[in-house]
Amino acid sequence: MWTVDLVSLHLSLRRRLARLRRSDGGFPMSLDGPSEVEATVVAALALNDAVATRWVRSRQRIDGGFDELDRRPASPASASLASLALSGGPSRSALDFVLAQRQRLLPGATAPDDHLGWGWASNPADARAFVEPTARALTAVKALAPENASARSEAVRVLTRLQCADGGWNYGTASVNAVDLRGYAQTTAMALIGLQGERTALGASGLRFLRRSFPVEPGGLTTAQSLLAFRLHGDRDSARAAADALEAIARRRSFLDRPVAVAWAVLATGSDGLIEPLRWRP
Amino acid sequence: MASVTVTRRQLVVRSGAVAVWAGVGGVALAKRLGAFDDPPPFDRRVFPEPGRSAVAVMRAESYEMDLEGLLVDSLRLVEADVRRRSVVLKPNFVEFLPGSSINTDPRMVVAAANALRRLGASSVVVAEGPGHRRDTEAVAVASGLQETLDDAGLRFVDLNEAPVVRTPLASRYMGLGELWVPRVLREADVVVSMPKLKTHHWVGVTLSLKNCFGCMPGRVYGWPKDVLHVRGIPNSIVDIFGAVRPSLAIIDGIVGMQGDGPIMGDPVAAGVLIVSRDGVAADVTGARMMGMDPEKVGYLMEAGRFLGQARSELIEQRGEDPARFTRRFAPAPGFEKLVA
């Protein structure tokens, strides 16, 4: 299926990621940073790694959320991915925390169509629902609590409302002053990972947008997440094109020095078994 | 002349009235003198009263010209001393759109780095935390910034992912007591805000103060730095600028943006560079050169209380006469009232 040697690419990226690990077992957001929850969670998924998972568990609070080493609360969006990387009680606790974090699209909004979704910030007074946090939460709910239909449908409604006119998603604003804004490949890939298996037009229009947009947004994170989205949607031709692009990007220092992007690339190039935790099996 | 008899009760009432009127007059006078103002929402010990400032306006018609030489001249005009200092350049790469004038031109960024090196800076790095996009590398590569920096041997720091330090605020507009600020900015001797000359659909104009939104790490404040939007953009602008405290502003006005900025506006060839050690004074000058009345830009006037000089009579213009290069930028929708 692949035109690149995906296994070699995966192993090469895996070696690179392993070299970025900190002495405490976690992974940093940048070369000169300490271990952080977001980076370590993605690395734990990508490496299927017990040491990284233990580090994530060590940062979990009693409410299921996570704190950084400097006592900053980690984003609830990181907790969504943590729920997939952890297992047992810590995983359920992380998901419960995520489910308690649903926020309205606008602060203080009370209109019936102001759906609940998920945001980046942990303080409800400061947070609004945005695309990627909502998509991450949707992915976690589908994998771990598929019976929670209300959370699933709410997340899908939020993503429906935030979809751009071009079929993609940006951070979460489809238009400003009646001017349509563009979707981004990276955010669209994350939305599609959340939307896999939904019987709506959203996924089809999103995939069309992603096929034409990822080649012109040449970042490692974007390309890795696009590859993953195509694989999870069974779009082999597009996945092949994304893998080709990722192989070229994987030679760039500006990509290799980004632990989170490299971790997503390890995950995206991994075996079917490795990406299974993110797969929706209705 | 009729005699007037005043009872004791009338005397008390009239004396009270006089006291009230005297009191009201005194209050008015005291109010005018600021005696009853609430304590200012900033710490005057940290932010002394702004003094006189100098702003250099330079004619620059093209990105192909000797920008480095022009910047050396303009930095000398405003007496910027960067000898043996570590410098961080913060351009504006909030987003990338081919063919647009959203971003500080990469050639300007490199020219500034080279100019500062020529003037004795010990190190120069370039840093940005795009507000809209999580994939900073995609923005840097697609915009040409990454290749330009690589060619010039300049390091790029992604402020959305760089290590952060807790920074107590000495101003209180957002209601947050602290911000998490990238360490690279806190440890630099000189932070240079390098915005594009643009209109802005939420706050009228976006220049060196607003550009500092991109200093805030997305992994703490979200994309598009939504925590700070919720707290109010004007409030956030002044608190963030007070926390980062750039000591130089270089505004890229060779090609600016008018109308529905900061993303969807139209390019406008304004042909200027604006340089100052005072970001507020630079922004006041920039607003005026876009044909806007800076006194109608609320956050600029508030910043003028403590972050820099906003009063035109206390801003010394050096280099070219700004009036010669003032262009009437189309205002952002809803900001027609800003037009001078």
Q: Is the pLDDT of residue B15 over 60?
A: no
Contact B204, B339 (CB under 8 A): no
Residues B285-310 pLDDT 10s? 999 999 999 999 999 999 999 999 99
How distant, in Å, are the alpha carbons of A122, B41, B190, B230, B239 from that of B176?
14, 12, 25, 12, 9
A175: helix, coil or strand? strand
Q: Higher pLDDT residue, B16 or A69?
A: A69
For strands B196-200 and B204-206, give the pairing: antiparallel
pLDDT band, very low/low/confident/very high, at B206 (cuts 50, 70, 90): very high
B132–A72 CB contact, under 8 Å = no
Q: Confidence class of residue B230 from pLDDT cuts 50, 70 and 90? A: confident
- Other residues' Cβ atoms within 10 Å of the Cβ of residue B154: 18
Bridge-based pairing of strands B53-59 and B315-319 is parallel
Q: Does A101 touch chain B (CB under 8 A)?
A: no
Please check the confidence at residue B6 and state whether its pLDDT lies above 90.
Answer: no
Contact status, residue B36 vs residue B30, Cβ threshold 8 Å: yes
Lowest-pLDDT choice from B4-18, B34-48, B73-87: B4-18
Higher pLDDT, A211 or B230: A211
Q: Is the pLDDT of residue B143 over 50?
A: yes
Top-confidence residue, B15 or B40: B40
In this complex, do B222 and A120 lie within 8 Å of one another by their Cβ atoms? yes
Q: Is the pLDDT of residue B33 over 80?
A: no
3-state SS of chain B?
CCCCCCCHHHHHHHHHHHHHHHHHHHHHHHHHCCCCCCCCCECCCCCCCCCCEEEEEEECCCCCCCHHHHHHHHHHHCCCCCCCCEEEEEECCCCCCCCCCCCCCHHHHHHHHHHHHHCCCCEEEEEECCCCCCCHHHHHHHCCHHHHHHHHCCEEEECCCCCEEEEECCECCCCCCEEEEEHHHHHCCEEEEECEEEEECCCEEECCCHHHHHHCCHHHHCCCCHHHHHCCHHHHHHHHHHHHCCCEEEEEEEEEEECCCCCCCEEEEEEEEEEECCHHHHHHHHHHHCCECHHHCHHHHHHCCCCCCCCHHHEEEEECCHHHHCCCCCCCCCCHHHEC
Q: State the ipTM, two decimals.
A: 0.96
Percent of chain B with pLDDT over 90: 86
- Judged against a pLDDT cut of 90, whether residue B13 lies above it is answered with no
Distances (CA, A) of A12 to A118, A276, B123, B307: 34, 21, 33, 50
A128 and B161: CB-CB below 8 Å? no
Enumerate the residues of chain B whose CB falls inside 8 A of the CB of residue A119. Answer: 222, 226
The pLDDT value given to residue B30: 56
Predicted pLDDT of residue A125: 74
Measured in angstroms, the CA of B247 and the nearest CA of chain A are apart by: 25
Give chain B positions within 8 Å (CB) of A125. 230
Q: Is B138's Cβ below 8 Å from some Cβ in A?
A: yes
| DSSP secondary structure string for all residues of A81-95 | HHHHHS-HHHHHHHH
Q: Which among B142, B156, B222 has the least Cβ separation from residue A218? A: B142
Q: What is the pLDDT of residue A107?
A: 64
What is the predicted pLDDT for the residue at B14?
46
Region B119-131: mean pLDDT is 98
pLDDT in tens, B56-82: 999 999 999 999 999 999 999 999 999
In angstroms, rounded to a whole number, what is the distance separating the alpha carbons of residues B280 and B63? 25
pLDDT of residue A158: 93
Q: Is B46 left (phi over 0), alpha (psi -120 to 50) or beta?
A: alpha
Q: What's residue B18's pLDDT?
A: 42
- pLDDT at position B35: 55
Predicted structure pTM score: 0.92
pLDDT in tens, chain A (282 residues): 799 999 999 999 999 999 999 999 999 999 999 999 999 999 999 999 999 999 999 999 999 999 999 999 999 999 999 999 999 999 999 999 999 998 877 766 666 667 789 999 877 777 788 999 999 999 999 999 999 999 999 999 999 999 999 999 999 999 988 889 999 999 999 999 999 988 778 999 999 999 999 999 999 999 999 999 999 999 999 999 999 999 999 999 999 999 999 999 999 999 999 999 999 877
The answer for A 176-215 residues in CB contact with B (under 8 A) is: 176-177, 179, 181-182, 184-187
